[in-house]
Amino acid sequence: MIVTVTLNAAVDRTLTVPNFQLGHRHRSSHSLTSAGGKGINVARALKRLETPVVATGLAGGRTGDRIVSDLASDGILNDFVRISDESRTSIAVVDPTAGTLTEIYEWGPAVRPEELETLLDKLHYLSRVASYVVFAGSLPRDVENDFYAEAIRDLNRRGVNCVLDCEGEPLRLGVDAEPFLVSPNQREAESLVGQEFEDEEDFLMALEAIADLGARNVLITQETACFGLFREERQLRRLRASVARVEPVASVGAGDVLLAGFLSQRFNGRPLDEALRAAVGCAAASVLELGPGRFDPREASRLAAGVEVAELEPVS
């Protein structure tokens, strides 16, 4: 199975507000409330792809109760560590008229050392039957920036393939721990390598730089495209996958769905080209729906047929 780890799980509320303006009163035309956080988004997408997944992490208070209840109602197996402080809530405001997305996140709960130890013990147990362990999202309060890095090093020693999707200092330290795969979006990758990406050559240089920092495989995600560097059968392959732009309803969580699509395909033994084609199809389908991690698998398959995958040469 695949295990997803969400330390800063949340109750996500997505509101559709046409012609949204700061300082004005609005009525939402549509709303959706569900369990969220990057790892949970990945788990929800994996469930839709009928890939065996267990979601774990930290959940506290009534908000934590709602997170666990929502996962159960969606049929997603979960095994969260219950903590004493209250889990966070987050709000996303989608303006379909302007094509904008405004997100507001709480910091998240304070976490005690013994609660983190309980989570690590749970990971040791779950990782025994895991093809991948996915660490995704921000860290809550009182959790050191090197938490992901130390957890990855521990699981590496146990022969577990670790996947990392986060940002900032936790990403930098986590890459140094040599995860099997690191999957930042473009903004996160730009911050990690210290420059903006303007063209294909910039992405290729970034793939090489992140691999040099420690990641064995690298996948830089966008809404409906990705660049990847993969070590396969003693070869180093550089690939780009993209599809014609679709008019988005909401793009939040598209990168999480892309990662889930890729892992699902690789879990089922599909070759890299097919995995990237399906992953981008899933991401493109997800921007057509409200709520992170949600998409129609049939629409994803249709869009995947139009995904172009190209083999790229290294930058000289």
The residues that bridge with 90 in the sheet, in sequence order, are: 12, 105
User: How does pLDDT run across 168-187, given as a tens digit for each residue?
Assistant: 999 999 999 999 999 999 99
Entry pTM: 0.93
Label residue 290 by pLDDT band (50, 70, 90). Answer: confident
Lowest mean per-residue pLDDT among 3-17, 21-35, 136-150, 298-312? 21-35
The whole-number pLDDT of residue 101 equals 82
Distance of CA 106 to CAs 40, 82, 116, Å?
17, 19, 20
pLDDT tens digits, one per residue of 106-131:
888 999 999 999 999 999 999 999 99
- For the structural domain made of 1-119, what CATH number should be given? 3.40.1190.20
- Percentage of the chain beyond pLDDT 70 is 100
Domain locations along the chain: 1-119
The bridge status of strand 53-60 relative to strand 81-83 is: parallel
Looking at every residue in the chain, the average pLDDT score rounds to 93
Residue 249 pLDDT exceeds 80:
no
